[in-house]
Amino acid sequence: MQITYRGDEPDAVKDNISSLISSSNTKIEDFTFKGIQQITALAWDISEISMIGVAAFSLTGATTVPEFPRSLTDVDDNAFEGCEALESLSSFEKTKVRRIGDCSFAETKLEEVVVFRRR
C-alpha cells in the first residue's frame, strides 16, 4: 500500500504501513489511519486486501481512492467517513464487494457510490 501525505511522514502512517506490509494481513484494521489529515492519496499494492475496517481512513485528507483490489469483499462502517476532500472514487465493478457499511462515504464530496451486483 502506498500513501501520499503532506509534509513529514507521520509516525502513525509509518507504523501502520509497516505492520500491513510485514504481515499477511488481508484486512486494513479498524481505525488504522483515522484522523491522519496529512494523508492525501492512497494506492493499493497489496492485492489480497479483502476488507477495509471500521473508520480505517475516516477523517483523513484523502482526495482520491484508486481502483479497489479485486479481492475486496467488504468496506466496513464509516471506512472513509469525514474525508471531506474525497472527490474521486474508482469503481467497485471489478471487485468481489458484497457489503458497503453504513456511512462509509458520508461527509465526502462524492455525490454517489455505485456498486454493481453480480448475478
Query: What are the domain boundaries of the chain?
Result: 1-119
Answer for the pair 57, 35: CB distance below 8 angstroms, yes or no: no
User: Which parts of 46-109 are beta strand (E)?
Assistant: 51-52, 64-65, 74-75, 88-89, 99-100
CATH class of 1-119: alpha beta
User: Which parts of the chain are beta strand (E)?
Assistant: 2-5, 27-28, 39-43, 51-52, 64-65, 74-75, 88-89, 99-100
CA distances to 6, 65, 67, 88, 116 from 91, in Å: 26, 10, 6, 10, 9
Can you give the pLDDT at residue 22? 43
User: Which portions of the chain are predicted below pLDDT 70?
Assistant: 1-25, 43-47, 116-119
Can you give the pLDDT at residue 33? 83
For the chain, percent helix, then strand, then coil, each to nearest 5? 10, 20, 70
CB atoms within 10 A of CB 46: 16
